[in-house]
Amino acid sequence: MLIAGNTVVTFHYRVSEPGQGVLEDSHGGQPLAYLHGHHGMLPGLEEALTGQQAGDHVSVTLSPAQAYGERREEALLRVPMSHVVNPGKGKVKYTPGMMVQVNTNNGPQVVRVVKVGLKNLDVDANHPYASKILSFDIDVISVREASEEELAHGHVHGAGGHHH
């Protein structure tokens, strides 16, 4: 079966910056699954995967516009400590570079701590790979038709996908 709209695609990937080392590699863990054509994947990857099938290997280099976009200065924010989600018990020692979840008007968002103050955190809400040219090596594991429930919810259920 070919990858097209409303198919569930499962794949392993390796991502790097051209001329640099590997940033991420899924081959040692679970493959990633997504619902093709439902905006759950980077636009450039969806385009490169369209028409592929299980067993195919795809290599593609994406511009920032095709991947995580350009860095935005307005995504550098000062957040009151009371907006930081602390899933554990007790006091957390925040440090620059740490990833934390904050409550926003648009729901929870994961951000990177830039600076720690007494009552606030300065955070960067840009994706860590924003403004980067990225090279992906993808191994397509499987392609199947999406279930009615997956189509209604707009995402994959089960292994590699969302669990309700």
Domains and CATH numbers, the chain: 7-69+129-153 (3.10.50.40), 73-124 (2.40.10.330)
d(CA 19, CA 35): 31
The model's pLDDT over 105-164, given as tens digits with 9 standing for 90+, comes to 878 899 999 999 999 999 999 999 999 999 999 999 999 999 999 999 998 987 555 544
d(CA 8, CA 21): 30
Confidence (pTM): 0.82
DSSP per-residue letters across 71-96:
--GGGEEEEEGGGEE--SSS-----T
Of residues 42 and 86, more confidence is placed in 42
- In this prediction, residue 104 carries a pLDDT of 81
The model's pLDDT over 47-71, given as tens digits with 9 standing for 90+, comes to 999 999 999 999 999 999 999 999 9
Ranges 19-23, 79-83, 138-142, 157-161, most confident: 138-142
Which among 135, 134, 80, 133 has a CA at the least distance from the CA of 104?
80
The model's pLDDT over 84-107, given as tens digits with 9 standing for 90+, comes to 987 666 678 899 999 999 988 878
- In this prediction, residue 160 carries a pLDDT of 53
Angle at 45 between CA 42 and CA 49, to 5 degrees: 140
d(CA 49, CA 65): 17
Question: Under a CB-based contact definition with an 8 Å cutoff, are residues 143 and 71 in contact?
Answer: no
Question: Under a CB-based contact definition with an 8 Å cutoff, are residues 141 and 30 in contact?
Answer: no
